[in-house]
Amino acid sequence: MKRYVQLFFMFAVTVLIVMGIQKGLSTLDVLNLENFWANYVVFLILAYMILSFFLHYFSKRKKQS
């Protein structure tokens, strides 16, 4: 059960970070995220990158214990 709670919070933190990055990019006019598909693709790419970092970090940390 602990693993599922940890995974849920990793995903929740990832989504919050991605939403913050998207808001910042939109505010700075780096990307036009008014288009649904552009917003979707940017969200998927950023979420995958950040979630893979979290999963790699926590799996590596667990093996060291």
Burial (CB < 10 A; 0-12, 13-18, 19+), residue 14, is: buried
**Mean pLDDT for the chain?**
89
Please state the rounded mean pLDDT for residues 8-14: 93
Cβ pair 24, 18 in contact under 8 A: no
Residue 3: pLDDT band (50, 70, 90) is: confident
Which residues span the domain enclosing 46? 1-63
Give pTM, 2 decimals.
0.79
Distance (Å, whole) CA 49 – CA 15: 11
How many distinct structural domains can be found in the chain? 1
Please state the rounded mean pLDDT for residues 31-51: 91
Please state the rounded mean pLDDT for residues 2-25: 92
